A and B are shown apart, each in its own frame.
Chain A
Amino acid sequence: MRKEYTFKVLRYDPARDRRPHYQSFRVPYTEAMTVLDGLFYIQYRLDGTLAFRNACRAAVCGSCAMHINGKYRLACETQVTHISRGTVCIRPMSNLPIMKDLVTDMTKFWEKYRYIEPWLIPGKPAISNAEYVQTPDQRINLDLVVDCILCGICTQSCTVTATDENYLGPAALLKADRFISDSRDSATFERLDLIDSEHGLWKCHTIYNCQLLCPKKLNPTGAIKSLQRRIVHRYLSYNEPSGRD
């Protein structure tokens, strides 16, 4: 076990710097230290202005997605010893403007989220003070899709996003699939119309970055393919396909 790690962190303050640059910090190792712990060591003791988003430190809030030693990861659940022999190199997520250091401007990401109308559109109003009935088998369809923490790793690591910043991307499309897969939702066709568009789901090149990198082990590629099949089947006037692979 090393006694010390070098954290090479991308720094950029648009108000002061002409361009981003890396700054190195020496961080003493403590037991089970995560990348987030290391960043806090710097912020608490060496440079209070170092900017990175954080909240839960338990891999559920999605704040701390960043590019760490060659891969997109959540800083809070990444143990330094698992990924590094001495240097931890950190930069913000790609394909988004940097607002400060590791903090990106996620406006575009949230615009895509809003675009797909991310709320339940039930067919009929619920009976007063009663839940909609949904069987455990119907609920299973949601098991994976509702786990998304909207960290942004899938969309920002997608090479299509790199060439088309307006591409809806895996996170928003997975969210669309979350509602289409919900037995209580009745707006499937409207939802498909929204994503069957110029910057919509046909832009997916099946590169699998999203699936490989998702910290929650979700399958946005599969969701996108399933949505594509739904649209094809609809054009061909087939019945709605059931299930997904």
Chain B
Amino acid sequence: MKYHQALVVGAGLAGLRSAVELNQNNINVAVISRVHPIRSHSLAAQGGINAALGNHPRGKADSTEKHAFDTIKGSDYLADQLSALKMTQEGPRRIREMENWGCPFSRTSEGLIAQRPFGGAGFPRTAYATDKTGHVLLHTLYEKAVQLEQASERQNFVFYDEYFVMDLIIDEGKCVGVVAMEMRTGKLEVFRADAVMLATGGAGRMYGNTTNALISTGLGMSLAYRQGVPLKDMEFIQFHPTTLLGSNILMTEGCRGEGGYLVNDKGERFLANYPDSAKAMEVAPRDITSRNMTREILEGRGIGGKDYLHLDLRHLGEKKITTRLPGIRDIAMNFVSVDPIKEPIPVQPGQHYTMGGISTDDSCATSIPGLYAAGECACISVHGANRLGGNSLLETIVFGAIGGEAMAKYIEGGGASKPGKVFEQALDKVEKELNELESRKKGESFAEIKETMASTMAEKVGIFRDETQLSEALKIIQNLKERFKKVFIPGPGGSRSFNFGIYNILDLGGNLDTAECVIMGALNRKESRGSHFRNDFPNRDDEKFLKHTVYSLEGEHPCIEYREVGLGLWEPKERKY
């Protein structure tokens, strides 16, 4: 059994930032990740990270309060206002800290961090490094972490790369560690800890049409949920307006921030025809833009009558495209053989972000003492019903640091775990489940369950929802959950070393849990707010639904309750742009 004071599960931006914070608070910390940290999905973020730095000529009058207001308005008033303000107030210092640690942001002519306009923001406040902001942030933070690891003489900062966490260990109501599999050997190991941070990312892979990495499967959310930690606001799924036709790879909002157009089959900038996007046009918030794009497609004005539109960058010129959006050009050329300098890019809205997640307070603490969550897997909540572009990266580094500090305080305040039988029992439980899975040589097809889930979510739980479709989807997913109990690893079997058949099935289980929550939340929320749009209830209903949805596992299914939203700074108003 290994022991560290703190365990961080997941090595994306939120995980690494919390580990750095724990280390700086003299806590012995280990980072456990199923992939090498540099492969984490944070790096796929492109457009930027928001903060009121005031570096842009048009951003001088910006402030952290205005940033908080834009975030709350963008959230359709479902964000907890003080949490959102906390994030925007911490923003400038955390971004400059990343710069000080080496992050190669693009620069203004004065040599400061460059900022660009983004959807739903009153000022150009999205700091960026060309169109690879997530990539440079993750590399920088990993570099910082490696520096601390090397400097740590007594091995107080350790990485366990390619360890797959399979369960959380709870003792007397407190989280005291995890069971993980060393992927190389297939060996199960117990990690005892005084506190655990989950920073496992989103759950986008429940949708077929997602921008998310193949490892964004909601398993971390599900591990907490199965231990009795509630999830929150899962029905709010962000659909990014511009994902590449077919593969749904992200085409950053920066394309539009830099001046790109969205056009339909007739060559019209159709956003002008819709009252909610007529003014902001291409930089209207994501929920609005995705909806209006989908309307165009449904009404037959997609390109060639098909299910996509054009993102036209040609008027930006070769120089702007190659200096500000080089990654976009590479992806378009490699994946659809389109050079954006010469041709428009075929795009369609696609699943992008899980606004909901593990319910935490604004110090990242969950309902189980010793268990924390940060980043996309958590719901604090700062994004409410719709996240603004550029706020997710901000959330990771701000709340990674806040969560790390809170964990350090908890550990120093006497949260120590004790060795005991519970660890052996947890290991035995996982071993038994694994044996059962491995011994099943026939049964339900993994591929079929996964593909049915992905297409059901994309077709019936998408941008436009209604009672009939959602009820059908719920039936299908609950049926899949039953079938999942008999799922088996295809093929002749093999050792546990890098046995992806095992990971795939665990991931699918996580995704089925999150999918069920999304649908039940969407069914119960008989209103339209932010990313959640009901054709049968097209208006926002503050009286009934200015509330967070909270899901707890009862038996095998979620039980839904509602919780008050933290207001107090700004009165909810109709959301107009």
Residues of A within 8 A of B (CB): 13-16, 31-32, 43-63, 77, 99-101, 103, 105-106, 110, 114, 117-120, 122, 126, 129-136, 138-139, 142-143, 146-147, 149-150, 179, 182, 184-185, 216
Contact = CB atoms under 8 A, between A and B. Distances in A.
A132 B504 contact: no
A133 B44 CA distance: 27
17 contacts: A13-B497, A15-B495, A32-B247, A47-B491, A47-B501, A48-B499, A48-B500, A48-B502, A51-B499, A53-B35, A55-B39, A55-B41, A100-B497, A119-B143, A120-B100, A120-B102, A126-B96
Given A32-B247, A61-B38, A105-B184, 5 more contacts: A32-B336, A58-B331, A62-B39, A100-B184, A146-B136
Interface in B175-192: 184
B323 to A, nearest CB: 8
Contacts of A16: 494-495
Nearest to B497: A100
B329 to A, nearest CB: 11
Interface stretch (B110-118, B258-266, B532-540, B554-562): B110-118
A53 B40 CA distance: 12
Interface of B: 35-36, 38-41, 43-44, 92-93, 96, 99-102, 104-113, 129-130, 132, 135-136, 139-140, 143-144, 146-147, 150, 184, 213-215, 246-247, 249-250, 327, 330-331, 334-336, 445-447, 450, 489-495, 497-502, 504
A170 B491 CA distance: 39
A17 B502 CA distance: 20
B110 A133 contact: yes
Contacts of B446: 44, 48
B500 A43 contact: yes
Given A44-B490, A58-B44, A77 B334 contact: yes
A124 B247 CA distance: 46
Nearest to B212: A56
A32 B108 CA distance: 40
B31 to A, nearest CB: 14
Given A13-B494, A60-B44, A182-B102, A51 B500 contact: yes
A40 to B, nearest CB: 8
Nearest to A45: B447
B92 to A, nearest CB: 7
Nearest to B95: A131
Contacts of B44: 56, 58, 60-61
Contacts of B41: 55-56, 61
6 shortest interchain CB distances as A-B pairs: A48-B501, A120-B102, A47-B491, A49-B494, A133-B111, A51-B498
A100 B113 contact: no
Contact of B96 (A44, A47, A61, A130): A130
A21 to B, nearest CB: 14
Given A32-B247, A133-B110, A114 B146 contact: yes
A108 to B, nearest CB: 14
B503 to A, nearest CB: 9
Nearest to A217: B330
Given A45-B490, A47-B490, A119 B144 contact: yes
Given A100-B498, A126-B100, A49 B110 contact: no
A57 B38 contact: no
Contacts of B36: 63, 106, 110
A62 B100 contact: no
Contacts, number: 185
Contacts of B327: 60
Given A55-B215, A99-B184, A46 B43 contact: no
A56 B446 CA distance: 21
B100 A132 contact: yes
Contacts of A99: 184, 497-498
A103 to B, nearest CB: 5
Contacts of B331: 58-59
Given A31-B246, A48-B504, A136 B214 contact: no
Given A120-B102, A135-B107, A114 B497 contact: no
A32 B99 contact: no
A165 B92 CA distance: 44
A118 B490 contact: no
A49 B493 contact: yes
Interface centre among B36, B110, B140, B493 (most CB of A within 10 A): B36
Contacts of B132: 60, 146-147
Given A55-B40, A135-B111, A149 B135 contact: yes
Contacts of A134: 107, 111
Contacts of B494: 13, 16, 49
B104 A132 contact: no
Contacts of A14: 497
A58 B250 contact: yes
Contacts of A138: 107, 111
A50 B43 CA distance: 26
B101 A56 contact: no
Most chain A beta-carbon contacts within 10 A, residue among B38, B110, B246, B250: B38
A175 to B, nearest CB: 9
A100 B143 CA distance: 28
Contacts of B336: 32
Contact of A114 (B106, B135, B150): B150
Contacts of A101: 498
A77 B446 CA distance: 25
Contacts of B43: 56, 60-61
Contacts of B143: 118-120
Given A58-B331, A146-B104, A46 B491 contact: yes
A56 B92 contact: no
B147 A119 contact: yes
A182 to B, nearest CB: 7
A216 B109 CA distance: 27
B113 A131 contact: yes
